[in-house]
Chain A
Amino acid sequence: MASAAAPRYARPFAVAFLALIVVCAFVPLNLWPFSNWELFSRLRTDKETAWEAVAINRSGSERDYPIASVPRTDRGAICSVWLRRPGTRIVRIYHVELLLSDRDENRTAPRHRTLAWICSAKGARAES
């Protein structure tokens, strides 16, 4: 017959395991899968900011590039990858601000777009 009792290590394991979940939440630490459970915990406002990349080809037409925020140190490497796409001459990166509370009938929020940096054959160039 197998012993019905919990093994000797069970008690210290359960205490340490549950304590780690609590510590990660309180500190907070994100040691996945010991999460800090902070997703959606901070208040959102009606002002949203985003980044937008637009590729310009030789004929001057524009095409959107899906991107997230890119650290300044990575921009040169990112630029060289983007410019590899056939026909792309330059890529313009815009910082976009949206006012969600001012949505129009077409459900689009007004956008304020600021040119942040430009990717060209010469590399990344900050606009301001």
Chain B
Amino acid sequence: MQKAENRLRRADRWVFASEDARRLASVRIGLCTLLTLRLASNDSAAVAAGHTRFHPHFYMSLFEGMPSQELASALQICGIVFALIAAAGLALRASLPLALGCGLILDGMLNSAGRVIVGDAVLVLCLLVLLASGAAASDAWSIRKPLRGNRTSNGARYGWPIRTAMVAVAFAYFFAGFQKWRYSGVAWVTSDNLRWILYGQSHPNGWALFVADRPLLAHVLAACSLLLETCFPLVLFMPKLRWLLIPAAVAMHVGVRLAIGLDYSAQWLTTVIVFVNWPGVVGWLRSAVAPVPRPREASR
């Protein structure tokens, strides 16, 4: 009992640790820019124009039928504008929920037309956390910053949204692996499951056939994917492992895109945005680009 309490306290201290305001601001800029790009490439208007059958999923039951093409286009334009305003850190308490609302309806339209959009789920989950952080995400690196006066630049106010988003991303990978263990077990690796996934496409491309034609390669890739997903939460406790597991996750998603055509770019970009210490990267770039003083100047 005491041990469980101690663990909970440690987890609480980790989630509510102090963080740099610029780190949360970088997550705001990254996620809102990514939302802008996803909204720009969203083809809900085409789906609405195609008279696709409407099978409402979850919150889309609020709609009686598929929203019109005009509404989809209007939501897309408004969503892009609000997401850009939120990325700039302006009126975040209004711009972010509006951008997210537009995105949820447009994604819901695709979902209700039978489209698989699981790749966007992690982005939307992290945006929900950002939304819950209130105005804290616009305390730094914001266009309005000069008008706001001094702000505390460190604190749990900036830490908890980043850490909660990190846990959400880790859960997404872990549960993708967990469900494979749950429904398929070790046979997900040892059987020809991956080969049948690749062969089973209507028109498998050269990448898919390259892997599917080599059973050993298919088993190795399946094992690496399952190991990566199962072990991904370790990045929360062992920051050095981020250098290995996050590039591996990016490689896995790029491989899936090439071989199966499923676009998980929103998921791996969200992972990179949330886990990379961007103020640290900016500081490193500045020091790398800054002119090195000559020895005589340095000695003065």
B104 CB contacts on chain A under 8 angstroms = 33
Contact B157 A4 (CB under 8 A): yes
Q: A18-B171, A32-B58, A42-B184 are known contacts. Are A37 and B157 too (CB-CB below 8 A)?
A: no
Contact B196 A10 (CB under 8 A): no
- Interface SS of chain B: helix
Contact A5 B156 (CB under 8 A): yes
Contact A2 B164 (CB under 8 A): no
Interface residues of A in 1-57 (CB under 8 A from B): 1-7, 9-11, 13-14, 17-18, 21-22, 25, 28, 30-46, 48
Q: A7-B134, A10-B16, A18-B171 are known contacts. Are A44 and B111 too (CB-CB below 8 A)?
A: no
Check: A104 CB closer than 8 A to any chain B CB: no
Contact A107 B172 (CB under 8 A): no
Interface size on A, residues (CB 8 A): 45
Q: A32-B121, A42-B184, A100-B199 are known contacts. Are A37 and B176 too (CB-CB below 8 A)?
A: yes
Contact A41 B182 (CB under 8 A): yes
A100 CB contacts on chain B under 8 angstroms = 195-196, 199-200
For residue A82, give the distance in angstroms from its CB to the closest CB of chain B: 12
Interface residues of A in 87-119 (CB under 8 A from B): 98, 100-101, 103, 107, 109
For residue B18, give the distance in angstroms from its CB to the closest CB of chain A: 7
B51 CB contacts on chain A under 8 angstroms = 81
Contact A34 B125 (CB under 8 A): yes
A57-88 vs B: 1/0 string, CB under 8 Å? Answer: 00000000000100000100000010000000
A81 CB contacts on chain B under 8 angstroms = 51
For residue A27, give the distance in angstroms from its CB to the closest CB of chain B: 12
B107 CB contacts on chain A under 8 angstroms = 32-33
Q: Which residue of B lies closest to A98 (CB)?
A: B200
Contact A25 B175 (CB under 8 A): yes
Q: Which residue of B lies closest to A45 (CB)?
A: B196
B187-214 vs A: 1/0 string, CB under 8 Å? Answer: 1100111011101100010000100000
Select A44's contact among B114, B154, B197, B204, beta carbons within 8 Å.
Answer: B197
For residue A19, give the distance in angstroms from its CB to the closest CB of chain B: 11
Contact A37 B175 (CB under 8 A): yes
Q: Which residue of B lies closest to A29 (CB)?
A: B58
Interface residues of B in 139-170 (CB under 8 A from A): 139, 150-152, 154-157, 159-160, 164, 167-168
Check: B116 CB closer than 8 A to any chain A CB: yes
Check: B117 CB closer than 8 A to any chain A CB: yes
Contact B179 A38 (CB under 8 A): yes
Select B191's contact among A31, A34, A43, beta carbons within 8 Å.
Answer: A43
Q: A31-B58, A45-B196 are known contacts. Are A1 and B120 too (CB-CB below 8 A)?
A: no
Q: A4-B18, A5-B157 are known contacts. Are A39 and B118 too (CB-CB below 8 A)?
A: yes
Q: Which residue of B lies closest to A35 (CB)?
A: B121
Check: B108 CB closer than 8 A to any chain A CB: yes
Q: A41-B183, A45-B196 are known contacts. Are A32 and B175 too (CB-CB below 8 A)?
A: no
Q: Which residue of B lies closest to A6 (CB)?
A: B156
Beyond A10-B132, A81-B51, 5 extra complex contacts between A and B, CB < 8 Å: A3-B155, A28-B179, A33-B128, A36-B175, A41-B188
Interface residues of chain A, those whose CB is within 8 Å of chain B, are 1-7, 9-11, 13-14, 17-18, 21-22, 25, 28, 30-46, 48, 68, 74, 81, 98, 100-101, 103, 107, 109
Q: Which 6 A-B pairs have the closest CB atoms?
A: A4-B155, A41-B179, A33-B124, A44-B196, A25-B175, A37-B175
Listed A/B pairs (6) with beta-carbon separation below 8 Å = A5-B156, A22-B175, A37-B178, A41-B180, A101-B192, A109-B199
